[in-house]
Amino acid sequence: MNDEEVLAALRSSLGGAKDSLADVHLDRSADAIRARARGRRVRRGLAGAGTAGVALGVSLAFTVGGGSGATARSVHVNLDAWSVNTLPGGLVYLDVRELVQPALLRQTLAQAGVPAIVTFGEFCTGPSGGDTGNLDQVLGKAAPGGAPKLTIRPAAIPAGSELSIGIVSVSKQGLAGLDTSFGLVKEGSRLTCGQPPAGQAAGVGKKGPRVPGQTGPVKAKPTASGGSGVAVPVKTTPAS
């Protein structure tokens, strides 16, 4: 049997696989791809300008309550780009340093009991414009005295809903940070995704990131939960 005959046998054997590929689609928009590239250019530009001391980062802490139908378990995933770690007492700590591998981050959060939709470079909202009625209960206050953290109670996420987490890179006065958006959306609903308004994305709007005067990571301390001292703003009604 020569190579061509073996190839033909392989094609026959793998026919089912070819059929199953017909349902494989990449659902990300071209706008999301461009936004991701734009954020990367900003970071590279900053590094080239000698501002490497200003690291990008968003730190969130999640309280795993095992609610909303999600199965929570101990998770410890530490990549160069981001980390998800279950802490003693049921907390899950998320630290994002680079906006890469959002699908894997979503999968990891799901394993930690947080049903989430993660988008880098754009914000997404559900058909009704974002059901944020319970968001204040889902997003807890930062622990006093500690590093900026956001607590999330998965038990407060309504059954059949997911937490939408959108993170985009922003720049202000030549320095960069991250802008984060949260929302609750129904599972399986069609999402409307888009970039924040240009002024905001460029960090020139009122909700641009605070740029620390000292070097060190820019940590997220969202206000949707009622926290104060915003480093990275949180919008409960993402811009389309």
Partner 1 sequence: MRSWGVEQKRREFAEFYAAAKDDCLRIVLVSVGDRQLAEDLVAEAFTRAWMSWRTVRDHPAPRAWVVRTALNTHVSWWRRKRREVPLADAEPAAAWQPAGVDDALASAVRALPARQREAIVLRVFFDLDTEATAALMGISPGTVGVHLHRALGTLRTQIPSLLD
Positions that interact with partner 1 (CB under 8 A): 1, 3, 6-7, 9-11, 13-21, 24-26, 28, 30, 32-34, 36-37, 40-41, 73-80, 86, 100-104, 107-108, 111
Place of tokens 């020569």: 2
Least spacing, CB of residue 227 vs partner 1, in Å? 29
Assigned token pair, 73: 């378990």
Please, which residues have CB within 8 angstroms of residue 69's CB and are 6 or more apart in sequence?
Answer: 115, 159, 160
Q: Cα separation of 132 and 195, whole Å?
A: 19
Pick the closer one to partner 1 by CB: 19 or 228: 19
Assess contact for 220 and 150: CB atoms under 8 A. Answer: yes
Closer residue to partner 1 (CB): 73 or 141:
73
With beta carbons less than 8 A apart as the criterion, state whether 209 and 218 touch: yes
Cβ of residue 74: shortest distance to partner 1, in angstroms?
A: 5
Q: Are strands 192-194 and 175-186 parallel, antiparallel or unpaired?
A: unpaired
Helix, strand, coil shares of the chain as percentages rounded to 5?
A: 25, 25, 50
Q: Closest approach of Cβ 62 to partner 1, in Å?
A: 16
Give whichever of 77 and 211 is closer to partner 1, judged by the CB atom: 77
- Alpha-carbon separation of residue 137 from 53, 94, 194 (angstroms): 35, 19, 26
Nearer to partner 1, 16 or 145 (CB): 16
Tell me whether residue 28 or residue 210 sits nearer to partner 1 (CB atom).
Answer: 28
Q: What's at 197, amino acid-wise?
A: P
Question: Least distance to partner 1 from the beta carbon of 127, Å?
Answer: 23
Q: Closest CB to partner 1 among 38 and 172?
A: 38
What single-letter amino acid sits at 99? L
Least Cβ distance, residue 109 to partner 1 (angstroms): 12
- The nearest distance, CB 144 to partner 1, in angstroms, is 29
